[in-house]
Chain A
Amino acid sequence: MSDRTRRRKLDIKNGRVDLSHGAGGRAMAHLIGEIFHEAFDNDLLRRGNDQAAFDVVGGRMVMTTDGYVVSPLFFPGGDIGSLAVHGTINDVAMAGARPLYLSAGFIIEEGFPLADLKRIADSMGAASRDAGVPIVTGDTKVVERGKADGVFITTTGVGVVPAELVLSSEQARPGDKVLLSGFIGDHGVAVMSQRRNLAFETSIVSDSAALHELVAAMVAAAPQALRVMRDPTRGGLAATLNELAQQSAVGFRLDEDAVPIRPEVAAACELLGLDPLYVANEGKLIAIVASEAADTVLAAMRAHPLGRDAAIIGEVIADDHHFVQMTTSFGGGRIVDWLSGEQLPRIC
């Protein structure tokens, strides 16, 4: 290898990913070095191993993995990169855990612009630095044109949770309160607004955010009272609560007037024929909390910027049919059922 070859930089402005960037040779080393290592830079990654080795502290380990295929890749308030960081951090955090490290796997379509890849990597780097959760290992594959849609990202996260703190889906009990951390539907509507065949103008931006610090504040406020936490992503609030109802063998009763929905989101959903209860969120959480501590947890949430608009939206009830029921703003009753089919494809 001549020195000149080694120093040749990627043409990030005009270049495109080709099959050689995934072939394991020098081109791949350039791509990883100039784009990913530069964006994610940290001690563990810099060692250049095929894995990251780190010490673990006491408690239980939490691990999760998630694939990201959102279309379009860039949307108001985020992109596939920041989403891949926030989403996985949140899945770790929903166990009440402190997220420690992330891995990132990329499947890139031949012909994908290097400039876009860099933009995505930089956004991931920024999101992970802001969250204090470094990306310490990764993988890169390139597939032929037409075999993927730009880029797909898979991130895995690990974290630790104190041994005595157990949040789990089967722990909702009749009488518990349902807390929601803020406005629903922002992410789904923001992504939808950018779809090529649907583009409409809106001021709505995705709520994509890492929630682990909000979770830490809630845990600190009332560790004994937290039963379950979930982030209502795909399928929205409705899907998450229906899952919990099944897993805990309970029902829910919600108050429609208490569910925070921005007027812009309500209007966009009206136009598109969507129900905001089914629209994806990427920076919201639902907590099932013992009734007596609900106000304490709510206060802790509202004291955090990501929980400023938190609200108690309903309660857990005994119900053999595991229905999620809602008292409508109109005064009647309805079920908030499982979603049939898909409402919005490829939202995350």
Chain B
Amino acid sequence: MKYMDEYRDGKIARSIAAAIAAAADPARLYHFMEFCGGHTHAISRYGLEDLLPGNVRMVHGPGCPVCVLPIGRIDMAIRLAQRPEVTLCTYGDLMRVPGSHGASLLRAKAAGADIRMVYSTLDAIAIAQAEPERQVVFFAIGFETTTPPTALAVKLACARRLTNFTVFCNHVLTPPAIRGILEHPDLDGVEGPKLDGFIGPAHVSAVIGSDAFAEFARDFEKPVVVAGFEPLDVMQAILMLIRQVNDGRHAVENQYIRAVSPQGNRIAQAEVAEVFELRESFEWRGFGAVPASGLRLREAYAGFDAERRFAMPEISAADNPACECGAILRGIKRPTDCKLFGTLCTPETPMGSCMVSSEGACAAHWTYGRFRDHARRAVA
């Protein structure tokens, strides 16, 4: 597969792995957080852990949009979908995410709610146009990557004067979450490992630009390397981070120059700014409330805001108290340290955010990497 296999070449991987092994100072530990679920997935899917020296450790960050969506927002979506006039359109990966009391969109659909899987916001617009008697709501989630298509759909609905199309907006922003991790590295007084740097998001950065991460390099003196989602991208980014740490530098570097510019996609940014505004605070599952990290529709587009049209009451619901997602997302614990991991909490019955989608830290480890736990135990 052209333009793809080049980034998955095992031979090049081994040469970068050798360079990493040569560059990593055996006298110290390196802790890097990959913020994005896409990177977490690549690390697990391709078994990158096996290619890294033992003193280079990856901390899996909260960058999986399905994972960080709070249970309460799922409950709100289910309640909305149960209204007889509503057709709820959603991306497929939200269907199985459990809300409170074992409810999910999949189960609500089975019980008769009109819930449809779409692959694009434009599919939802098409349904609204084809079925004017239905109130079509698009369940919008995701980081800066999926926000522009939602903005576009709202503007399209506005231009076409659709009165039966709204958006249930759950879009969140990446930089405030990274800031939250850096400002509050502890959980209930327990500190995680000191993070030595970040692998910056791939697709998000294509929209917001690599400059968006300059504040972390400057204010927190952390190197950031924006990287693509292919395994070689991740390997190269790790090497770049190690070199920065060794040199005592903390700059934003861009490994993903084939897609990311310093300023990002200005057109997409303008569309988003026109349609959305910041919420004061938004809850991230496993992470708590993060100030100025979520978006809602601006007053000018209030008519397309499902929360306003249906006067949706806020619902908040707590995770299982034994869930360790908060500690795992900060690198304080590993998935296997959680009592629920692989017992009560599996990809079929996720209890916490990290198990919800294959991009979550726990699900990725369970799905691709858990054979190592048994190997480790056997050695011990």
Taken residue by residue from 48 to 78, chain B's Cβ proximity to chain A (1 for < 8 Å, 0 otherwise) reads as: 1111000000000000000000000000000
Binds B, one of A79-87, A203-211, A297-305, A330-338: A330-338
What is the bound-complex CA distance between A297 and B4, given in angstroms? 34
Q: At the interface, yes or no: A270 with Cβ under 8 Å from chain B?
A: yes
Q: At the interface, yes or no: B301 with Cβ under 8 Å from chain A?
A: no
> Are A321 and B374 within 8 A (Cβ)?
yes
Q: A263-B1, A323-B371 are in contact. Are A333 and B47 (CB under 8 A)?
A: yes
Q: Which residue of the partner chain B has the closest CB to A332?
A: B47
Contact among A266, A332, A341 for B50, CB-based, below 8 A: A332
How far is the CB of A155 from the nearest CB of chain B, in Å? Answer: 28
Q: Which residue of the partner chain B has the closest CB to A196?
A: B123
Contacts of B119 in A (CB 8 A): 197-198
> Are A334 and B1 within 8 A (Cβ)?
no
> Are B123 and A330 within 8 A (Cβ)?
no
Contacts of B366 in A (CB 8 A): 337
Contact among B1, B4, B46, B368 for A330, CB-based, below 8 A: B46
> Are A332 and B46 within 8 A (Cβ)?
yes
Taken residue by residue from 240 to 270, chain A's Cβ proximity to chain B (1 for < 8 Å, 0 otherwise) reads as: 0000000000000000010000010011001
Q: At the interface, yes or no: A224 with Cβ under 8 Å from chain B?
A: no
Tell which of B50, B369, B370 has the most Cβ of chain A within 10 Å: B50
How far is the CB of A273 from the nearest CB of chain B, in Å? Answer: 9
Contacts of B46 in A (CB 8 A): 328, 330, 332, 334
Q: At the interface, yes or no: A340 with Cβ under 8 Å from chain B?
A: yes
> Are A340 and B371 within 8 A (Cβ)?
no
Count A-side interface residues using an 8 Å CB cutoff. Answer: 22
Q: From residue 63 to 107 of chain B, which have CB atoms closer than 8 A to chain A?
A: 95-96
**A-B contacts at CB below 8 angstroms, number:** 72
Count B-side interface residues using an 8 Å CB cutoff. Answer: 32
Q: A266-B1, A329-B10 are in contact. Are A197 and B118 (CB under 8 A)?
A: yes
> Are A332 and B51 within 8 A (Cβ)?
yes
> Are B1 and A331 within 8 A (Cβ)?
no
Q: A270-B1, A341-B96 are in contact. Are A330 and B10 (CB under 8 A)?
A: yes
> Are B1 and A335 within 8 A (Cβ)?
no
Q: A328-B47, A329-B10, A341-B96 are in contact. Are A335 and B371 (CB under 8 A)?
A: yes
Q: A270-B4, A340-B347 are in contact. Are A331 and B368 (CB under 8 A)?
A: no
What is the bound-complex CA distance between A141 and B353, given in angstroms? 47
Q: At the interface, yes or no: B14 with Cβ under 8 Å from chain A?
A: yes
Q: Which residue of the partner chain B has the closest CB to A336?
A: B368
Contacts of A330 in B (CB 8 A): 8, 10, 13, 46-48, 51, 231
What is the bound-complex CA distance between A150 and B114, given in angstroms? 21
How far is the CB of B5 from the nearest CB of chain A, in Å? Answer: 9
Contact among A197, A267, A331 for B123, CB-based, below 8 A: A197
Contact among B4, B14, B369 for A267, CB-based, below 8 A: B4
Q: At the interface, yes or no: B129 with Cβ under 8 Å from chain A?
A: no
Contacts of A321 in B (CB 8 A): 371, 374
What is the bound-complex CA distance between A271 and B300, given in angstroms? 35
Q: At the interface, yes or no: B348 with Cβ under 8 Å from chain A?
A: yes
How far is the CB of A37 from the nearest CB of chain B, in Å? Answer: 39
Q: At the interface, yes or no: B244 with Cβ under 8 Å from chain A?
A: no
Q: From residue 175 to 207 of chain A, which have CB atoms closer than 8 A to chain B?
A: 197-198
Q: A321-B374, A329-B10, A330-B13 are in contact. Are A337 and B368 (CB under 8 A)?
A: yes
Chain B residues engaging chain A, CB cutoff 8 angstroms: 1, 4, 8, 10, 13-14, 17, 44-51, 95-96, 118-119, 123, 231, 347-348, 358, 366-372, 374
10 interchain pairs, CB-CB under 8 A: A198-B119, A328-B46, A331-B13, A331-B17, A331-B51, A334-B45, A334-B369, A335-B370, A340-B367, A341-B96
User: Considering the complex of A and B, which 4 residue pairs feature the smallest CB-CB distances, nearest first?
Assistant: A332-B47, A340-B347, A332-B50, A330-B46
* A332-B48, A334-B368, A341-B348 given; 5 more Cβ-contact pairs under 8 Å: A197-B118, A197-B119, A325-B371, A333-B50, A337-B368
